[in-house]
Structure 1
Amino acid sequence: MLQCINNINTSQKSTKTRDHSLLQQQQQQQQQQHFCPAQSRAAQSRDGSSRGRTAVQSPRRGNCVSPKTRQANRVKSLCASHRNTRIHSFTHSLPKLTITNDDNNNTVARLRKTIKIECSTILSSPSIKEALVSSLNPQPSPKSAALRPRKPRKSVDRDEQLLLARSKQQEAYNQQCLYRISASVTAFKVHDPDPNAVDGGHVLGLRFEVMTRGQFLQPYYVMLNRPYANSGKTLRVHRHTVPPAIPLPGLAARHLPVPKQQLDKDSSIAPPKQDLEGFVKSLRREIMRYHNRLGVSADLRRSLGAHSRAAAADGSSLPSNTIVDVSIADTEAKQIRLTWADERNGRLVMDDDGKVVKFMVFGAEGRDWETTKQLTDSQGRVEDVAKMLEEYAAGRES
């Protein structure tokens, strides 16, 4: 009897437990029906990122996305992926531009030079200097001082002081350049530290300034001393940095003659006089002529060799009358060598002033008299010859 009662109670408890579990499942299904797909995905991602921690949120029907909105979002995503694919294919279809290191170095050097020139121009401006000085020593009125906001002045003053110091350096450099332009030859005294030096080590130095294409080159120096005991004022060239193309010994022999020994015996003959001013003028004239001839050859190289370099870079064959090389043929830079694409050679001979004296062309069979006669009809300055060579090349190509 007791066993039957226990069995009945156990069956009732199991029935209640089964009914309670079924009721919980129905409630969970109803809650899942209230959730939208987007919220369920977000909940899954949050559940996965929380590493096992579950968070129960109350469902909200207002946040559910409608089917039309989901379809519009899907269309937008498809359009975006298609646009990205088109951009990717377009970028891959573009030609690849190869920039060499030489081009980069030239561009960087050009930009640095431009920035340097712009900075020096700004610092040389008197208005900029006045603005820097006035900013370091401000004298504001009471109204402006009251309206002016207070700012930390330590860093600003330090920057302005640095700019003012740089402006003063630029002003000193401009003054030095002005002196070098106006006085191309300057004299100075030098003391020779050698204990056995003649005349107690006293040396007279001459500095010759040279400018090419708007830039100062390395100056040339000539050192003079007085090695003659009998004639204390007679000068002699002691050391120099003049290039061998300039006839310095001839100029010194002409303007700074050395006293002879027999002049001491015969007092009736006056000793030769030295002309230091004439020596300096003649030497400077020769230096300027030499650099002018170098500049002429460089201009010829740039003007006549530009199209040949462009054609060589393109990989195309050069015409037979194209000049491929322009170089200096002698030490004094009075002769210029021309080389054509068909292996003909030409020679320009100039005088001291840069005027063409002779022009010769040599081919494989000897001297090319026809081309020489055609090109020497208008002898003159090298600029005219360069123009004539360009016209000759254009005429042959046509």
Structure 2
Amino acid sequence: MSCKSILSTRKSQLSSNKAIAHLRKTLKIECSTILSSPSIQEALVSSLNSQPSAKSAALRPQKPRRSAERDEHLLLERSRQQEAYNQQCLYRIAASVTAFKVRDPDPSAVDGGHVLGLRFEVMTRGQFLQPYYVMLNRPYPGNAKFLRIHRHTVPPAIPLPGLAARHLPAPKQQSDDQGNPSSSLPRQDLERFVRSLRREIMRYHNRLGVSADLRRSLGAHSSHSLMAADGSLPPNTIVDVSIADTEAKQIRLTWADERNGRLVMDDDGRVVKFMVFGAEGRDWETTRQLGESQGRVEDVAKMLEEYAAGIEQQAGRE
């Protein structure tokens, strides 16, 4: 079997697997939508009564009554589970930040083990991600109202220590107060801390989304579809789009001819700078041609596609 036929078979299999996965996902969504319908729930409840309504009788399949009742009980249970799940999702959307109290089981924990927990919800592309948690305790004996971060699950790309130092400053030492009696205690603002932290979390995920959108727009995840029979790629094909730093403010682009590009974004995910490097250092010509691709990621993807198309047309004329 030739290399070309192997690649064709592999692409066909990948396409079939994606189509099957898409159909399964669509089937789950359609089933959830049907079970969430009030009319369907009403028909299921009515069909289990001794005298079902005309609507529920019309929906009942032509099966033995015992088998039909068993199926209806299962559907009704699934419908109630879906209703509870919808209510949970609605709450998570409306209350993106939730405060709760927990107890530290450590016998030597400060403040009797009392801990204030903060839960931050994150959604991307219509799906909830794993929430982030921040645990606060009160470790200062002389200042019982002052909070301090005890534990957290926030990624290191988010400046949590800086936000805590700004909005949840620690109380001053007693020696400082004795030296300056008129000095007042610093003020903590938990509400501003929560708002600032949520804003930084959303900015971080927006930047991650920019990288994913750019990857999908440029087709870097499926560059094998452009592969020739001998396994080579056109030199202007972008083969990789990845994040270059922990804060997700820089995106690395890699072309098939081993050129590298770097997109620099601000906190909100807007492209503010673009650079291209070749084998001999910085590629000023390509940087100049693509230097106008600043702003939204859609503009950047369009500029890169036009640049690649221009190179292909020029190579075809030659």
Q: Residue 174 of structure 1: CA displacement?
A: 0.1
Q: Residue 290 of structure 1: CA displacement?
A: 0.7
Q: Number of residue pairs matched?
A: 297
Larger displacement relative to structure 2 (262-271 or 360-369): 262-271
Q: Secondary structure of the equivalent of 1:237?
A: strand
- CA distance in 2 between counterparts of 1:374 and 1:288 reads 32
- CA distance in 1 between counterparts of 2:201 and 2:84 reads 27
For 1:26, the equivalent position in structure 2 comes to none
Structure 1 length normalisation: TM-score? 0.69
- CA distance in 1 between counterparts of 2:44 and 2:27 reads 20
Within-5 A mapping of 1:40-119: 98=9, 106-119=18-31
Alpha-carbon deviations, 1:265-324, whole Å to 9, x = none? 244211111110111111111111111111111111122135733112765643322222
Gaps of 5+ in 1: 1-94
Name which of 281, 291, 295 aligns with 2:195.
Answer: 281
Q: Residue 122 of structure 1: CA displacement?
A: 1.0
Identity of aligned residues (%): 80
For 2:269, the equivalent position in structure 1 comes to 354
- CA distance in 2 between counterparts of 1:313 and 1:158 reads 56
Name which of 121, 139, 160 aligns with 1:209.
Answer: 121
Alpha-carbon deviations, 1:75-132, whole Å to 9, x = none? xxxxxxxxxxxxxxxxxxxx99956876665454333322221211111011100101
Determine if contact 1:123/1:166 at 8 Å carries over to the other structure: yes
Which amino acid in 1 is paired with 2:84?
A
Of structures 1 and 2, the larger Rg is shown by 1
Name which of 61, 65, 73 aligns with 1:153.
Answer: 65
Within-5 A mapping of 1:313-392: 317-392=232-307
Residues 231 and 154 of structure 1, relative CA distance in 2, 3 Å threshold: same
Alpha-carbon deviations, 1:190-221, whole Å to 9, x = none? 11111111111110001111111111111110
Within-5 A mapping of 1:294-309: 294-306=208-220, 308-309=223-224
For 2:316, the equivalent position in structure 1 comes to none
Name which of 141, 148, 169 aligns with 1:236.
Answer: 148
Determine if contact 2:46/2:52 at 8 Å carries over to the other structure: no
- More relative contact order, 1 or 2 (CA 8 Å, 6+ apart): 2
Residues 334 and 225 of structure 1, relative CA distance in 2, 3 Å threshold: same
Structure 2 length normalisation: TM-score? 0.86
Gaps of 5+ in 2: 314-318
For 2:105, the equivalent position in structure 1 comes to 193
Which amino acid in 1 is paired with 2:270?
K
Determine if contact 1:188/1:205 at 8 Å carries over to the other structure: yes
Within-5 A mapping of 1:126-275: 126-139=38-51, 153-261=65-173, 262-265=175-178, 266-275=180-189
Residues 314 and 280 of structure 1, relative CA distance in 2, 3 Å threshold: farther
The two structures, once aligned, show a CA RMSD in angstroms of 2.5
- CA distance in 1 between counterparts of 2:15 and 2:312 reads 31
Residues 152 and 375 of structure 1, relative CA distance in 2, 3 Å threshold: closer
For 1:41, the equivalent position in structure 2 comes to none
More helix by share: 1
Q: Residue 362 of structure 1: CA displacement?
A: 1.1
